[in-house]
Structure 1
Amino acid sequence: MKLHKIKAILAVAAMGILSQSCLDLEPKDQLAESNLWSSPSEFQLFANQFYGWTRDFGSLDNNSTKPLHSDYNSDLFTSRDDRNRFSNGSNSVQESDGNYGSCYAHIRRTNLLLQNAEKYSTPADIAQYVGEAYFFRAYSYFDLLQFYGDAIIITQPLDVTSPELRVAQNDRSEVADFIIEDLETAAPMLPRFAELTTDDAGRISREGCWAFLSRVALYEGTWQKFRGNEERGRELLDIAAKAAKQVIDSKTFSLFKPDALKEKAQKYMFILEDAKSNPAGIQKSANKEYIFARRYDESLAPIGKNITKTNLINMVWVSRKFANMYLCQNGLPIYMNGVKNAQFQEYATLTSEWENRDNRMRYTLAKPGDYFWNNSNPGCRLTWNDASDQSNAAIKNFTPSSGTGYHNQKWASERLVKDNFEGFDYPVIRYAEVLLNYAEAVYERDGKIEDTDLNLSLNLVRTRVNPNMPGLTNKLVNDNGLSMREEIRRERTVELFHEGFRLDDLKRWKTAETEMPQDILGVKWAGTEFEAKWSACPYPRNSEGVIVMETGRQWQDKHYLFPLPKDQLQLNPNLKQNPGWDK
Structure 2
Amino acid sequence: MKIVNTIKTILLLSVVVTLPSCLDLDPQDQMSDANLWQTPNDYKLYANQFYEWTRDFSSAVYDGPHSDTRSDLMTSSSYNEYSKGINNIPVSDGNYTGAYTKIRYANILLQKAESYPNPTDIARYVAEAKFFRAYEYFDLLQLFGDVIVVTEPIDITDPKMNAPRDDRSKVVDLIIEDLKQAIPDLPKENVIATADKGRVSQGAAQAFLSRVALYEGTWQKFRTGDVTRINDLLDIAAEAAWEVIDSKQYEIFKPAELGTDAYKYLFILEDVQSNPANIKKDKNKEYIFSRRHDEVIAPIGKNITKNCFANVQWVTRKLAEMYLGADGLPIDNAQSTAGVDYSTPDNEYAKRDNRMTNTLMAPGRKYWNNNASHTTWTDADKAAFDNKDFYPTSGSGYNNQKWATERNVKDEYEGYDFPIIRYAEVLLNYAEAVFERNADAEGNIMDASKVDAALVYLNQVRQRVNPNMPGLTTSFATTHNLKMREEIRRERTVELFNEGFRIDDLKRWKTAETEMPENMLGVKWNTSGDWATWAGKWSPSYSLEDGCLLIETNRVWSNKNYLYPLPSDQRQLNPNIGQNPGW
Q: Which residue of 1 aligns with 2:7?
A: none
Q: 1:233 to 1:527 in 2, by over 3 A?
A: farther
- What secondary structure sits across from 1:55 in the alignment? coil
2:336 to 335, 338, 341: 341
Partner residue of 1:453?
453
Contact 1:380 1:393 in 2 (8 A): no
> What residue in structure 1 maps to residue 382 of structure 2?
390
Partner of 1:244: 241
Contact 1:372–1:394 (CA under 8 A) maintained in structure 2:
no
1:533 paired residue number: 534
The answer to whether 1:112 aligns with 2:108 is: yes
Q: Distance in 2 between matches of 1:410 and 1:282?
A: 18
What is the Cα deviation at residue 396 of structure 1?
2.2
Q: For residues 70-85 of structure 1, what are the structure 2 equivalents within 5 Å?
A: 70-80=67-77, 82-85=78-81
Q: In 1, Cα distance between the equivalents of 2:61 and 2:90? A: 19
Pairing 1:387-536 to 2, within 5 Å after superposition: 388-392=380-384, 395-447=387-439, 448=445, 449-450=448-449, 452-526=452-526, 529-530=530-531, 533-535=534-536, 536=538
Q: Which secondary structure does the structure 2 equivalent of 1:165 belong to?
A: helix
- Give the AA of the match of 2:566: L
Q: Partners in 2 of 1:375 and 1:221 — Cα distance? A: 43
Tell me the alpha carbon deviations over residues 484-520 of structure 1, each in whole angstroms, 9 at most, x when there is no partner: 0000000000000000000000000000000000000
Q: Secondary structure at the match of 1:224?
A: helix
Q: Residue 11 of structure 2 corresponds to which residue in structure 1?
A: none
Cα deviation code 1:358-414 (max 9, x no counterpart): 00000111112221111133x525323x2x311346752212322110000000011
Counterpart CA distance in 2 for 1:21 and 1:264 is 43
Measured after TM superposition, the shift of residue 191 of structure 1 is 0.9
Query: CA, structure 1 residues 383+576, in 2 after alignment: closer, same or farther (shift >3 Å)?
Result: same
Task: Name the CA distance, whole Å, in 2 between partners of 1:295 and 1:394.
Answer: 33
What SS class does the counterpart of residue 420 from structure 1 fall into? Answer: coil
Deviation, structure 1 residue 159: 1.7
Q: In percent, how many aligned pairs have the same letter?
A: 56
Partners of 2:279 and 2:493 lie apart in 1 by 27
- May I ask how many residue pairs the two structures share in their alignment? 554
Aligned to 1:566: 568
The CA distance in 2 between the partners of 1:27 and 1:578, in whole Å, is 30
In 2, Cα distance between equivalents of 1:553 and 1:24? 37
Paired residues of 1:192 and 1:205 also in contact (CA < 8 A): yes
Aligned residue among 218, 222, 228 for 1:226 = 222
Q: 1:34 to 1:79 in 2, by over 3 A?
A: farther
Asked if the contact 1:373–1:381 (Cα under 8 Å) also holds between the matched residues in 2, the reply is no
| 1:214-253 Cα deviation digits (max 9, x unpaired) | 0000000000000011332111111100000000000110
Q: Which amino acid aligns with 1:419?
A: D
**Cα distance in 2 for residues equivalent to 1:93 and 1:34:** 42
The letter of the residue matching 1:262 is: G
Residue 148 of structure 2 aligns with which residue? 152
For the residues of structure 2 that align with 1:573 and 1:369, how far apart are their CA atoms? 59
Give yes or no for contact 1:296–1:303 (8 Å, CA) kept in 2.
yes
Q: Going by fraction, where is helix more abundant, 1 or 2?
A: 2
Aligned counterpart in structure 2 of residue 380 of structure 1, from 370, 374, 382: 374
Give 1:31 deviation, angstroms: 4.8
2:26·2:156 contact (CA, 8 Å) conserved in 1? no
1:261-296 per-position Cα deviation (integer Å, ceiling 9, x unaligned): 001111111000001111111000000000001101
Residues 394 and 497 from structure 1, CA distance in 2 versus in 1: closer, same or farther, beyond 3 angstroms? farther
CA-to-partner distance for each residue in 1:454-494, whole Å, 9 max, x for gaps? 45310000000000100001111001111000000000000
TM-score (norm 1): 0.92
The aligned residue for residue 357 of structure 1 is 352
> What is the TM-score of this pair, normalised by structure 2?
0.92
Structure 2 residue matching 1:188: 3-state secondary structure: helix
Gap change, CA 1:20 and 1:242, over 3 Å in 2: closer
Give yes or no for contact 1:370–1:397 (8 Å, CA) kept in 2: yes
Shift in Å, 1:30: 5.7
Extract unaligned runs of 5+ from structure 2.
1-18, 440-444
**Following TM superposition, by how much is the alpha carbon of 1:34 offset from its aligned partner in structure 2, in angstroms?**
5.7
Q: Secondary structure at the match of 1:174?
A: helix
Structure 2 CA distance for partners of 1:560 and 1:394, relative to 1, 3 Å:
farther
Q: C-alpha deviations, 1:334-375, integer Å up to 9, x for none? A: 012xx3723123312111111100000001111122211111
> How far, CA to CA, are the matches of 2:454 and 2:384 in structure 1?
42
